[in-house]
Amino acid sequence: LQYFRKLLNRDFDMPEISRFVLSPYWRIASSSEQQQFTKLLSDDLVRFYRQRFTRYKGETFEVMGSRSDPAGTIVTSQILRPNGSSIEVDWQLTAQNGRYKISDVIIDNISMALSEREAFARQLQLSGGQVASLLARMERDTSIGALVGSP
């Protein structure tokens, strides 16, 4: 959990991902709400992907190549399973201060950032478009997950 959190904070562009996911609500959120959302989204992603990655046993990871994209660079890769099937994983990278950061992960043509954006848009609609209500729900879910030992 600590390793994945360190990896996420170091290699993912969480401010940009958060801005994209919360859009257009990002513009109406206060600076403290934006920071809180970024932290809670990071916590949520750490728990979600840790749970997913612990299911992998015996898989190998292979980088296939890269290509330029209007938003930066896409690195193509595969997770090769022992049964012969593979999972296509593309990594959207953007350059920041001479260093690449991951701004999206596309698994079998499904964008993580877009999926999160759609999920949070639904939650915001249920919250009457109130960012504070969304943050309260995210805080509560984080607390409940910690209490029941969710990864």
Q: Running along the chain, 151 residues long, what does each successive block of 10 average in pLDDT?
A: 85 94 94 96 85 77 92 92 88 90 93 93 90 92 56 42
For residue 133, what pLDDT is reported? 92
For residue 150, what pLDDT is reported? 45
For residue 94, what pLDDT is reported? 93
For residue 151, what pLDDT is reported? 42
Query: Are 139 and 43 contacting, i.e. CB atoms less than 8 angstroms apart?
Result: no
For residue 65, what pLDDT is reported? 96
For residue 148, what pLDDT is reported? 42
Query: Are 103 and 96 contacting, i.e. CB atoms less than 8 angstroms apart?
Result: no
Task: Enter the DSSP assignment of 85.
Answer: -
pTM of the prediction? Answer: 0.83
